[in-house]
Amino acid sequence: MKLLLTLLLFATLLALAPLGSATAGLSEGRAAYARGDYSSALAELTPLAKAGNAHAQRMLGAMYRQGHGVAKNAERALHWTREAVKQGDGGGRANIPLAQYRLGTFFLEGLGGTRDRVRAFVWYTRAAANERAGGLAAHAAKARDKIARQLSETEKARGTAMLRRMSALAENTPRKPAKKSTGTGFIVSADGYILTNNHVIAGCVEVHIKPLIVPVIAADAERDLALLKVGANFKRFATFREGDIRKGESVVVAGFPLHGVLGSDFKITTDTVSGLTGPGNNKALLQLSAPIQKGNSGGPLLDLSVHVVGVVVSKLDVLKLARATGDIPQNVNFAIKGNVARDFMTEHGVVVVAAQSGADLPPADVAERAQLYTALIECWK
Give the mean model confidence (pLDDT) for residues 4-31. Answer: 48
Residue whose C-alpha is closest to residue 230's, from 196, 259, 203, 197? 196
279-314: pLDDT as tens digits = 889 999 999 987 788 899 999 999 999 999 999 997
Q: Verify that 161 and 41 share a domain, yes or no.
A: yes
Note whether 288 and 272 are same-domain residues. Answer: yes
CATH of the domain at 139: 1.25.40.10
- 105-124 residue pLDDT tens: 999 999 888 889 999 999 99
CB atoms within 10 A of CB 367: 19
Verify that 223 and 110 share a domain, yes or no. Answer: no
Question: How much is the average pLDDT of 212-226?
Answer: 94
Q: Are residues 78 and 195 in the same domain?
A: no
Asked if residue 13 has pLDDT above 60, the reply is: no
**Interatomic CA distance for residues 234 and 187, integer angstroms:** 8
Inform me whether the pLDDT recorded for 22 exceeds 50: no
Count of domains forming the chain: 2
Interatomic CA distance for residues 380 and 57, integer angstroms? 21
pLDDT, residue 7, reads 36
The mean pLDDT value of the chain amounts to 84
Of 148, 172, 196, the position where a domain reaches its end is 172
* Cβ contact 85:104 at 8 Å: no
Task: Band the pLDDT of 343: cuts 50, 70, 90.
Answer: very high
Whether residue 136 sits in one domain with residue 104:
yes
Residue 324 has pLDDT above 70, yes or no: no
pLDDT in the model for residue 71: 93
The verdict on 255 and 162 lying in the same domain is: no
Could you write out the three-class secondary structure of the chain?
Answer: CCCCHHHHHHCCCHHHCHHHCHHHHHHHHHHHHHCCCHHHHHHHHHHHHHCCCHHHHHHHHHHHHHCCCCCCCHHHHHHHHHHHHHCCCCCCCCCCHHHHHHHHHHHHHCHHHCCCHHHHHHHHHHHHHCCCCCCHHHHHHHHHHHHHCCCCHHHHHHHHHHHHHHHHHHHHCCCCCCEEEEEEEEECCCCCEEEECHHHHCCCCEEEECCEECCEEEEECCCCEEEEECCCCCCCCCEEECCCCCCCCEEEEEECCCCCCCCCCCEEEEEEEEECCEHHHECCEEEECCCCCCCCCCCEEECCCCEEEEEEEEECCHHHHHHHHCCCCCCCEEEEEHHHHHHHHHHCCCCCCEECCCCCCCHHHHHHHHCCCEEEEEEEC
For residues 355 and 225, membership in a common domain is answered with yes
Higher pLDDT, 111 or 346: 346
Same-domain check for residues 270 and 309: yes
Query: Domain range holding 372?
Result: 179-380
pLDDT at 208 over 60: yes
Query: What pLDDT sits at residue 136?
Result: 86
Q: Please state the rounded mean pLDDT for residues 123-151.
A: 88
- Lowest-confidence region among 42-51, 80-89, 280-289: 80-89
Between 61 and 21, where is the model more confident? 61
pTM: 0.59
- Percent over 90 (pLDDT), the chain: 54
Domain end point (choices 172, 188, 216): 172
Q: Residues 251, 362: one domain?
A: yes
**Residue 142 and residue 235 in one domain:** no
For the stretch 24-45, pLDDT in tens is 578 888 888 988 999 999 998 9
Q: What's at 68, amino acid-wise?
A: H
For 148-189, write each residue's pLDDT tens digit.
Answer: 999 999 999 999 999 998 888 767 766 678 888 999 999 999
More confident residue, 127 or 301: 301
Asked whether residue 277 falls in the same domain as residue 316, the answer is yes
Question: Pick from 114, 137, 172: which residue ends a domain?
Answer: 172
For residues 267 and 372, membership in a common domain is answered with yes
CATH code for the domain of 221: 2.40.10.120
Residues 6+ apart with CB under 8 A from 170: 89, 90, 91
* Predicted pLDDT of residue 176: 72
